[in-house]
Amino acid sequence: MHVFRPFGPTIGKFKLEHSMVIKLNNYVDEKLNANKLQSWGDHLAGQIKNEFVLPFEELNKLTGVGDFVAAHVRHYVKESTGYEISKCIFRSIWVNQQFKNEYNPTHWHDGHISGVLYLNIPEDLSQGAIKKGRDTDGKIIFTHGVRQFTSYSIHPELPEVGSVLIFPHYLMHHVYPFNVEGERRSIAFNIDIDDHIFNVY
């Protein structure tokens, strides 16, 4: 796991095992095909048609994703603060199916720690970009503070299948639209940890 600090808050990045990516995609596909997922779009900022809440207990039992992510959250907090948490509770978890021209405006989350994991990415997100090499199509962009000397206030991350990003809930971020066909599938989540560790003031 890589914990880095592009500005103020730290961001953690790690990879899911390939077998877990397959299990998660199969689970989501099965639920979508059976029309068994509740729409979650009214609770979210995204200009995305298909956003569905996931039943965490069932998802974790079948795939182990909750336990896997929780272990990395513990490491992330330890690396970032020096403290060991005793609590790691998933407050909410949902799947985003983002397609061509859909996007997520700048927003932040609830809970203490938030994250996103990627299950499917269109083959070439930047294919329709006007400025090659400087494109932001389909990327998640983190924003903190303002641009000034030695401080660049944005940090882009190109999504990759199996990659997971975790960060403090208040870290603002957005996802740009893309101009190619295909589904950009991600699972986002919010986690509560020990209050006395999170509430530093």
The predicted pLDDT at position 166 comes to: 98
- What pLDDT, on a 0 to 100 scale, did the predictor assign at position 10? 96
pLDDT of residue 150: 81
Q: Are strands 2-4 and 163-168 parallel, antiparallel or unpaired?
A: unpaired
Q: What's the pLDDT at 127?
A: 75
The domains located in the chain, with CATH, are 12-128+135-194 (2.60.120.620)
CA distance 59 to 66: 8
Report how far residue 73's alpha carbon sits from residue 65's, in angstroms, rounded to the nearest whole number. Answer: 12
Residues of the chain with pLDDT under 70: 128, 130, 132-134
Structure tokens that stand for 86 in this block = 């005793």
